[in-house]
């Protein structure tokens, strides 16, 4: 039963207290979270076992050096551990991707990445200060001695430079100025950083080899990370590409600047893909094949056939219209968890903006629901910009979907992340966004809500849905941004 009422001007909003459903995936999510925390505890335990804690205890005037060095070792070890977890997080391990989704993983990636780099910097400062205090030398002189005389330190310096480069280019201000391709290429330097840091960890980092347990732990972590990257980022995509031999079947214009590409291949029914998911695609046309682009399926997978629909927004997406039948395709994926698996309720509402309609259209085809239990709210700039309008109207008629097309200019996007953000998702002229959403779907709190579109707009719709009582486990989102 609805529990609490809140007033949003002209509408009264009911907030549900319906219990969260505990699914096996939740259990696995907790288990993975606990394992991640355990690795950090293991690293701290190994440091304690190696005498790290004793070095922190004050032991006369000469204790500053060992204390600082010990803290330096701890920060270095945790930083190295987080870096390996980071590699595992982004290895695109299917079960991890399915459990957490791209958005959550990307947020963790940022948090763990910046924490690791900060700890690495603290490690460098503390170790240098500690060694300088012990040797009674100046800090810069000690830093030079460390780099010039300790084995593996020159490579560690290069590793530091690579990781700082990745961190700086990932800061929002810098990232916004870079093309996706440049940012992505620079980001690969993180792997270089991880690799170049290993020699100094083995040759000078006593904690790595201080006991058989420490040696086993670190080699296991390195082996797991390497295997995950090789297996899931290279092996699995290569296997799927070779196994399914996908090719372009034909290309159809869907509207201004929008084309659908139909793809065929071998044994496509064995490809574990669901409506709502996306692949990273490379079309072997000669131009631009080195850059993979993510496109979602725009139709539920059919026997022996898949469809994607692409809006021309830049160099490579504009080339899609010129694809010839028979063009070979390299794929990575499927990825994304905007799928039927996330469903919690019998009623469902889909909210799309622009080309973000693609995965939602596929889901509306695949999901089971009773007539009247599914709603699609679709905003676009003008009437001509509604991709699949005819298809959607036919689907709506056939399956009893409540379809709302909202044409109109964007509201002021500058305010999308401001205090009134939840009022701005609707196009200009539709008034308060929460009131509109409530008018369109009065019982939204009882629905699963799937949202897809650009980032700022999605933040706004999600806030409006939450204000109407939709719980986090009922909200399923896919951003079309990197």
Ligand X SMILES: Cc1cc2nc3c(=O)[nH]c(=O)nc-3n(C[C@H](O)[C@H](O)[C@H](O)COP(=O)(O)OP(=O)(O)OC[C@H]3O[C@@H](n4cnc5c(N)ncnc54)[C@H](O)[C@@H]3O)c2cc1C
Q: Which residues bind ligand X (CB under 6 A)?
A: 180, 278, 293-296, 308-311, 313-317, 336, 355, 358, 478, 480, 482
Nearer Cβ to ligand X, position 129 or 261? 261
The phi and psi torsions of 262 (rounded to 5 degrees) equal -95, 135
**Minimum gap (Å) between residue 164 Cβ and ligand X:** 23
Place of tokens 């379809």: 403
Collapsed DSSP state (helix, strand, coil) of residue 212: helix
Nearer Cβ to ligand X, position 385 or 478? 478
Give the whole-angstrom CA distance, residue 391 versus residue 387. Answer: 9
**Minimum gap (Å) between residue 394 Cβ and ligand X:** 20
Nearer Cβ to ligand X, position 136 or 177? 177
Nearer Cβ to ligand X, position 200 or 282? 282
Q: Please, what is the angle between helix 389-399 and helix 357-366, to 10°?
A: 30
Place of tokens 């008034």: 431
Q: Which of 81, 147, 65 is nearest to 120 (CA)?
A: 81
**Minimum gap (Å) between residue 334 Cβ and ligand X:** 11
Nearer Cβ to ligand X, position 282 or 466? 282
**Minimum gap (Å) between residue 296 Cβ and ligand X:** 4
Give the whole-angstrom CA distance, residue 351 versus residue 16. Answer: 20
Nearer Cβ to ligand X, position 84 or 308? 308
**Minimum gap (Å) between residue 328 Cβ and ligand X:** 19
Nearer Cβ to ligand X, position 6 or 179? 179
User: What is 37-94 written as a DSSP string?
Assistant: HHHHHHHHHHHHHTTHHHHHS--SGGGHHHHHHHHHHHHHHHHHHHHHHHHHHTS--H
Nearer Cβ to ligand X, position 198 or 458? 458
Within 13 Å, how many C-alpha atoms sit on residue 89's CB side?
Answer: 24
**Minimum gap (Å) between residue 204 Cβ and ligand X:** 39
**Minimum gap (Å) between residue 318 Cβ and ligand X:** 6
**Minimum gap (Å) between residue 337 Cβ and ligand X:** 11
Give CA 293 to chain center in angstroms: 15
List Cα–Cα distances, 66 to 26, 55, 233, 242, in angstroms.
44, 6, 42, 56
Closest residue to ligand X, Cβ-based?
Answer: 314
**Minimum gap (Å) between residue 93 Cβ and ligand X:** 17
Q: Which of 117, 143, 116, 148 is nearest to 130 (CA)?
A: 143
Nearer Cβ to ligand X, position 13 or 364? 364
Question: CA torsion sign, 232 to 237 to 242 to 246?
Answer: positive
**Minimum gap (Å) between residue 310 Cβ and ligand X:** 4
Copy the structure tokens of residue 197.
């840091």
Q: Which residues contact 469 (CB under 8 A, 6 or more apart)?
A: 2, 13, 14, 15, 16, 444, 445
Nearer Cβ to ligand X, position 361 or 466? 361
Would you call the peptide bond into 282 cis, given omega within 30 degrees of 0 as the criterion? no
Within 13 Å, how many C-alpha atoms sit on residue 230's CB side?
Answer: 6
List Cα–Cα distances, 212 to 63, 209, 217, 391, in angstroms.
28, 7, 8, 63
Nearer Cβ to ligand X, position 299 or 395? 299
**Minimum gap (Å) between residue 238 Cβ and ligand X:** 19
Determine how many CB atoms are found less than 10 A away from the CB of residue 195: 14
Contact in structure between 406 and 376 (CB atoms under 8 Å): no
**In the chain, what is the greatest distance between 2 CA atoms, to the nearest angstrom?**
83
**Minimum gap (Å) between residue 43 Cβ and ligand X:** 33
Nearer Cβ to ligand X, position 278 or 283? 278
């Amino acid at each position: 039963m609805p529990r609490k009422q809140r007033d949003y001007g002209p509408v009264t909003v009911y907030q549900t207290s319906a219990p969260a459903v505990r699914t096996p995936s939740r259990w696995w999510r907790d288990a993975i979270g606990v394992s991640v925390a355990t690795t950090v505890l293991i690293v701290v335990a190994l440091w304690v076992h190696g005498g790290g804690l004793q070095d922190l205890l004050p032991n006369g005037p000469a204790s500053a050096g060992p204390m600082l060095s010990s803290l330096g070792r701890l920060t270095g070890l945790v930083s190295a551990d987080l870096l390996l977890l980071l590699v595992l997080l982004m290895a695109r391990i299917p079960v991890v991707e399915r459990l957490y989704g791209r958005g959550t993983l990307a947020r963790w990636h940022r948090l763990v990445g910046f924490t690791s780099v900060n700890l690495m910097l603290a490690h460098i400062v503390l170790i240098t200060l500690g060694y300088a205090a012990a040797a009674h030398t100046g800090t810069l002189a000690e830093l030079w001695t460390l780099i010039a005389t300790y084995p593996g330190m020159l490579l560690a310096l290069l590793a530091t430079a690579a990781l700082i480069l990745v961190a700086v280019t990932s800061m929002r201000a810098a990232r916004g100025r870079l093309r996706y391709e440049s940012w992505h290429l620079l980001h690969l330097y993180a792997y270089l950083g991880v690799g170049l840091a290993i020699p100094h960890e083995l040759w000078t980092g006593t904690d790595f080899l201080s006991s058989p347990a420490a040696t086993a732990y670190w080699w296991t972590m390195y082996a797991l990370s390497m295997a995950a990257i090789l297996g899931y980022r290279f092996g699995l995509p290569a296997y799927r590409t070779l196994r399914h031999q996908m090719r372009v079947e034909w290309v159809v214009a869907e509207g201004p600047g929008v084309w659908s590409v139909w793809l065929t291949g071998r044994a496509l029914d064995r490809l574990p893909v669901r409506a709502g998911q996306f692949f990273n695609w490379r079309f072997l046309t000669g131009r631009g094949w080195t850059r993979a682009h993510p496109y979602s399926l725009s139709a539920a997978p059919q026997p022996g056939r898949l469809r994607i629909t692409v809006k021309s927004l830049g160099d490579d997406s504009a080339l899609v219209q010129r694809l010839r039948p028979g063009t070979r395709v390299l794929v990575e994926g499927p990825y994304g968890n905007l799928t039927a698996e996330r469903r919690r309720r019998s009623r469902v509402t889909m909210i799309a903006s622009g080309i973000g309609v693609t995965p939602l259209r596929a889901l509306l085809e695949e999901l089971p629901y009773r007539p009247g239990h599914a709603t699609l709210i679709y905003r676009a700039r003008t009437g001509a910009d509604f991709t699949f309008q005819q298809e959607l109207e036919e689907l709506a008629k056939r399956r009893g979907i409540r379809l709302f097309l909202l044409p109109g200019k964007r509201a002021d996007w500058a305010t999308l992340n401001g205090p009134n953000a939840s009022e701005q998702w609707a196009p200009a002229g539709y008034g308060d966004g929460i009131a509109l959403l409530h008018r369109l779907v009065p019982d939204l709190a009882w629905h699963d809500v799937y949202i897809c579109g650009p980032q700022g707009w999605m933040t706004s719709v999600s806030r409006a849905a939450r204000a109407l009582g939709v719980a986090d486990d009922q909200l399923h989102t896919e951003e079309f941004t990197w």
